Amino acid sequence: MVKHIELHVHSFSMRFHLRHRESTAYDVFAYIHEMAERGFTGVNVSANGGGYRDLCGTTEEHFAAVREAVGAAGLRLELDTSDTRVEHMTRMIGVAAVCGADTLRTYTKYDAPLANVIEWTIRDLRQVASVAADAGVLVVMENHEDFTGPVLAHILGAVDHPSVRALYDYGNSQMVGEDPFDALDAMAPFIARVHAKDHVLLRGPDGPVVQGVPFGSGRLDVLGTTDRLYAAGVRRFCFENVWSYRAPLKCSPDELPDTPCFAWDDPARYLHGDALPVEVAVREERAAFDAGLAAFQAMLGNGGYEVVHDPIS
């Protein structure tokens, strides 16, 4: 059976190109054009921070230009932000709507005891749910190195609104010592969006880290994850090149599950992309993107998946 999906790509995949756009001449419009040429059906753009990061602009005129560019390219658009506070989310839902984005990703940024963070996150998302619905924007809460799958499922069950769903990341649960399949099983009823990536676990110079690697060269069961997500009803997959990304382990190594993705990898694979010279980071990022995308497309082909450009999610 052929399994039809939409295929997005995340701007994090080209973050060094975008961060150093004055020297690379690579901005959000170059990104949109390239990814349309590569056959993606949509683009995800990080709009974190006061400058809206990879969106490359903060004015209404710029947002309208992004909307026009995405439409002309025949792509769908998602934006990423962080922080669930109502004022922030209301503003970012508005930005997403003006840009023509159908989805806005977020995650909590509260620093407090877990019970408080859960309570405040539920409160926030309940208040912005109707704002998102009125704007035609789906808010998705990501398991972003913080909540376990069951905790995130509890939050979304308490919010109980069709305009607030989950974004499942293939490997983020590793940071909190949770097997990715356990997180997926708990979140499955709520998952609408995903980030497909690959990781290894290793001991870095400052302690244990989850290290991003080119897709297909890590220890995550990427095809098994994709199959489970498809069975759960997910039809839009977002490829994310996380080469040189790393995040500290937030639990004791003694607490890690005894599953293959938590096997210790070669510490020589440790890489901090931000410490590289700009020209090296840009060159190696593109090489990792190309290799990872080829592996991702091969995985999809082996799994019987076919990308279609008509919206199905």
Cβ neighbours of residue 251 closer than 8 Å, sequence gap 6 or more: 176, 177
Q: What is the pLDDT of residue 210?
A: 97
Res 230: pLDDT: 98
Going along the chain from its start, the domains and CATH numbers come out as: 3-307 (3.20.20.150)
What CA–CA distance (Å, rounded) separates 95 from 63?
Answer: 7
Identify the CA nearest to 137 among candidates 260, 47, 30, 50: 47
The C-alpha atoms of residue 247 and residue 277 are separated, in whole angstroms, by 20
Backbone torsion region of residue 253, taken as left when φ is above 0, otherwise alpha when ψ lies between -120 and 50, otherwise beta: alpha
Q: What is the pTM of this model?
A: 0.97
pLDDT in tens, the chain (313 residues): 899 999 999 999 999 999 999 999 999 999 999 999 999 999 999 999 989 999 999 999 999 999 999 999 999 999 999 999 999 999 999 999 999 999 999 999 999 999 999 999 999 999 999 999 999 999 999 999 789 999 999 999 999 999 999 999 999 999 999 999 999 999 999 999 999 999 999 999 999 999 999 999 999 999 999 999 999 999 999 999 999 999 999 999 999 999 999 999 999 999 999 999 999 999 999 999 999 999 999 999 999 999 999 988 8
